[in-house]
Amino acid sequence: MTSATTATPTGPAAEQRQIVPPEDRYATELAFLAAHDTGPRPPGWRLTPQAAVTFVMGSAGQSLTLPADAADVPEGLPRRLVIEQKFVGERALVERCVITLAGERGLLLVGEPGTAKSLLSELLAAAVCGTSALTVQGTAGTTEDQLKYGWNYALLLAQGPSRSALVPSPVLSAMTTGAVARVEEITRCLPEVQDALVSLLSERRVAVPELAGGPDAQLHAAPGFTLIATANLRDKGVSEMSAALKRRFNFETIGPISDLDTETELVRRKSRAAVERTGARYGVDDAVLEVLVTAFRELRGGRTAEGWEVERPSTVMSTAEAVSVATALGLAAAYFPADRDPLRLLPGHLLGVVRKDDPADAARLLGYWDGAVRRRAEAGATTWRTLWDLRAVLED
């Protein structure tokens, strides 16, 4: 994957943030794509739908060139730029997501935890309206006010109900400005809170009874407003969405990365970046990363590359967890170089991952060792032989 050298912002403000939102991190790419593709845009969009897909999926290593007659090009913008791939998945899926948003219909991204649903929603929001910040995090404590509006009680007491005393939610702010709102983990919200979205997505307005009779008693959605929600398949039974709410969304399922080499490269890139942000040198070699990702994929899928059956743990063996483990191995190698061999630390970290949901998963990991790891060790694979010799770590 080719990265644009201008993607990361500089300066004190950027240095003080652990996570830089995509609209800031890739500000140069967004500005470039806006000038590069001058085709028709849906109402309120910063980019064309085609440019939005390119922003998410990258330019396949090809350098794009601004047209000679490009107007309103910001000062300092490069004339040629390679767009970095930011989401690993099917291009057709991203295109469907973009078309859903272009039709101002709600988009629901569903899948197992750790499959980059939130990342994709952030990237889409940044491409469409220039901000991913209009977000509500769904929890059991999320209230209807957080999806609609609240009040500045000091102004409310001083002035009574007024537009200036009203505090809009991120969703209401997106409505009135024609932007994209995001609701994370929507199925963790209580059903009565979810139901607040039904009328919002169908009628495209919010009634403010406290302002009855005034011009602001009805707040209407501006052109371009839409909503992206995410939901984990494992949370399906927490607060099942009503049929009425489901009808307001187009569903897209985000699955695990299908290719071993692609997933390994992603884990390498993400974990290297995390370690290097600390100022340390990344010291996890390719053999360790390949074994790590192979173990995650086989435990996740219940079958090895050779076709051997594997008992799947109940916990989520996601790519995001693999990145976390690879980062931990890299930090251990950087800060304890004398006595921390990343490969020898791997079994302990895998055990920590599988124990998260069910203690019985430790036995399933041990079964993987006694099956796939042992067979590969007996076949002469050096790395797998080292892991087999470390079996006792899993019994502690």
Band (38; pLDDT cuts 50, 70, 90)? confident
Shared domain for 203 and 268, answered yes or no, is no
Residue 40 included in any domain: yes
Residue 93 included in any domain: no
Where does the chain show beta strands of DSSP type E? 63-65, 80-82, 106-111, 135-137, 149-151, 166-168, 180-184, 205-207, 218-220, 226-232, 249-253
Predicted confidence (pLDDT) per residue in 347-382, tens digit: 999 999 998 878 889 999 999 999 999 999 999 889
Residue 95 included in any domain: no
Band (236; pLDDT cuts 50, 70, 90)? low
Shared domain for 264 and 236, answered yes or no, is no
Residue 163 included in any domain: yes
Shared domain for 159 and 144, answered yes or no, is yes
7 close to 28: Cβ distance less than 8 angstroms: yes
Task: Provide the residue range defining the domain that includes 30.
Answer: 1-86
Shared domain for 109 and 247, answered yes or no, is yes
The mean per-residue pLDDT over the stretch 125-130 comes to: 97
Domain boundary among 86, 115, 147: 86
Shared domain for 315 and 270, answered yes or no, is yes
Query: Which residues make Cβ contacts (< 8 Å) with residue 265, sequence separation at least 6?
Result: 1
Predicted confidence (pLDDT) per residue in 50-81, tens digit: 999 999 999 999 999 998 877 778 888 999 99
Residue 107 pLDDT > 90, yes or no? yes
Shared domain for 63 and 130, answered yes or no, is no
Residue 94 included in any domain: no
What local confidence, expressed as pLDDT, does residue 237 receive? 58
SS3 167: strand
The per-residue pLDDT of the chain, averaged, comes to: 90
Residue 257 pLDDT > 80, yes or no? yes
Tokens of 140: 């059991």
Shared domain for 234 and 107, answered yes or no, is yes
Residue 92 included in any domain: no
333 close to 275: Cβ distance less than 8 angstroms: no
* Cα gap 321→317, rounded to integer Å: 6
What local confidence, expressed as pLDDT, does residue 167 receive? 94
Shared domain for 209 and 287, answered yes or no, is no
Percent of the residues in the chain that have a pLDDT greater than 70, as a whole number = 95
Tokens of 215: 């011009």
Residue 96 included in any domain: no
* Cα gap 140→120, rounded to integer Å: 24
What local confidence, expressed as pLDDT, does residue 337 receive? 80
Shared domain for 80 and 120, answered yes or no, is no
Band (238; pLDDT cuts 50, 70, 90)? confident
How many domains are contained in the chain? 3
Shared domain for 190 and 327, answered yes or no, is no
Residue 15 pLDDT > 60, yes or no? no
The mean per-residue pLDDT over the stretch 262-291 comes to: 94
Band (396; pLDDT cuts 50, 70, 90)? low
What's 247's domain CATH number? 3.40.50.300
